[in-house]
Structure 1
């Protein structure tokens, strides 16, 4: 299935920290456009061990896009066990408390007017409170599970958006075919009319030139020169090949959209080819209607190019 490069997914898991304390771990996975696969991770220290496994998961699933994983956790405060358990917020380090108390006493001997430490000051002192952290294996396992689930949600959203983009691109190719269907049969008529005007102008110009010279050239030679000029010009403005290539490229676009797997780079190349043919049609135009049709084709191709940038 064709997918876009933008998407979002999130999932959560719980991690046991010991002493009946549980942490809620939330993992988010975001993806935006990029020519190549670009991975980024913003994980807390407890989760960093899961990065290699997450990187492998993404590499197996995606080929393009800038993908970022973010994780955050907090103590689960919904359970009664947490409220009843004195270890939920951490344990006091008695040795650090005694050392801090001794330091305070020594400082007050020198600074007699210094106030005593508040409870908040004591709890914020490094090493006084030992928070429950859980085992490293538990954090890694939970992060990988949540990351895999978030990636699945992201893939689903990318596939859904990709399906919608396929519909948009197909509607644009349909419009382009309609333009070609209308204008292509008219081109020979426009060319013939332009050749007729060109023949008249060349005949007048050459006749005027011959009048100023001795009548050494015959009327047959004059018409032969006119015919050669008209034929050469007709070759230069012939757009049959451009229409043929344009229709071939449109068929290639439809084939790519009907297939599976990454198509973004292939479609981006086809957009360049379509634009080249539209430019040539515009430069060879022999009527206002042809010029307008070429401009409409270029506008539709640009719309397609913008959408193609979102496809993987």
Structure 2
């Protein structure tokens, strides 16, 4: 299966009064580059998060954001600081003993509003770690599915371009014999028009040399081999962007040679079209993992 390097994944979870949100975005990059945005309380998990991503992805610029908040349905997000409450109650009792009935008694709500008495429940990293890593795994799964869908589309496009190049190769194969014969005829006609005495044996030797220099069979055969290898790589799947990029270089080299050997405008046009198709494939391949 071919995977693109462009994708998105998102997952959420609630754990002991805390909400966890993980978002992952990825775009094409030559290597695997990870950018993490974590709350300070999760800094100790950075190494595990990086390792989990590296085991899943091979290439791409990956941006991971993890947020922690208070769950909307939490019933235990707040707790009483018992030590602080005891201190406040002791102070109130001391004031009451001195003031007697001249002061109104404090109610429970006023006591809870005293700074530090009511505080958010603290959750240890060991309690929330499984939920964070599980949420990360879910988001990574969505990212992979997204990259897979995009990769399937890219593979289809590349296969279409391969077929287009094969059509241009067939065009060259059908044009070359007649073009070569036409060149021979024109050359002989020019010699006759200039009234130059023609040494038939020497002319035959020159024509053989020309045929060897302008022969395209080897280049066309190599083009076919490279296209077959490209289809094999696409069918095999897995991370293959670098292999395909190397094949683009080889295809382009053969196309340039064909263009330089061209003896007919149809062959030149076909070679230019092949180069255009190769460039289109190269642009698509830049996004393949």
Instruction: Find the aligned partners of 1:270 and 1:172 in 2 and give their Cα distance.
Output: 14
Instruction: Find the aligned partners of 1:255 and 1:190 in 2 and give their Cα distance.
Output: 34
**Secondary structure at the residue paired with 2:287?**
coil
Equivalent residue, structure 2, for 1:48? 43
- Superposed CA RMSD: 2.7
- Structure 1 segments, 4+ long, off by >4 Å, are 90-95, 127-130, 202-206
Instruction: Find the aligned partners of 1:66 and 1:174 in 2 and give their Cα distance.
Output: 32
Equivalent residue, structure 2, for 1:160? 149
Equivalent residue, structure 2, for 1:19? none
Say whether residues 1:170 and 2:159 are aligned partners.
Answer: yes
Residue 254 of structure 1 is aligned with which of 213, 231, 246?
231
Aligned pairs for 1:1-312 within 5 A: 1-16=1-16, 22-78=17-73, 81=75, 87=78, 130-202=119-191, 207=196, 222-312=199-289
Instruction: Find the aligned partners of 2:70 and 2:195 in 1 and give their Cα distance.
Output: 95
1:9-61 CA distance string (max 9 Å, x none): 01112232xxxxx1211011111111111122111112222222221222222
Instruction: Find the aligned partners of 1:159 and 1:132 in 2 and give their Cα distance.
Output: 41
Q: Is the 8 A contact 2:175 2:266 kept in 1?
A: no
1:239-281 CA distance string (max 9 Å, x none): 1111111111111111111112111111111111111111111
**Secondary structure at the residue paired with 2:9?**
strand
Q: Displacement of 1:199 after TM fit?
A: 3.2
Q: Displacement of 1:63 after TM fit?
A: 1.4
Instruction: Find the aligned partners of 2:212 and 2:195 in 1 and give their Cα distance.
Output: 21
Q: Is the 8 A contact 1:10 1:149 kept in 2?
A: yes
Q: What is the TM-score normalised by the length of structure 1?
A: 0.76
Instruction: Find the aligned partners of 1:39 and 1:128 in 2 and give their Cα distance.
Output: 41
Equivalent residue, structure 1, for 2:98? none
Moved more, 191-200 or 156-165: 191-200
Q: Is the 8 A contact 1:39 1:67 kept in 2?
A: yes
Q: What is the TM-score normalised by the length of structure 2?
A: 0.82
Q: Displacement of 1:141 after TM fit?
A: 2.2
Query: Aligned residues, how many?
Result: 263
Q: Displacement of 1:156 after TM fit?
A: 1.0
* Structure 1 pair 130–233 and aligned structure 2 pair: CA distance change class (3 A): same
Instruction: Find the aligned partners of 2:279 and 2:167 in 1 and give their Cα distance.
Output: 17
1:62-81 CA distance string (max 9 Å, x none): 211111211112222345x3
Q: Displacement of 1:128 after TM fit?
A: 9.5
Instruction: Find the aligned partners of 2:229 and 2:192 in 1 and give their Cα distance.
Output: 46
Q: Which runs of 5+ in 2 are unaligned?
A: 89-112
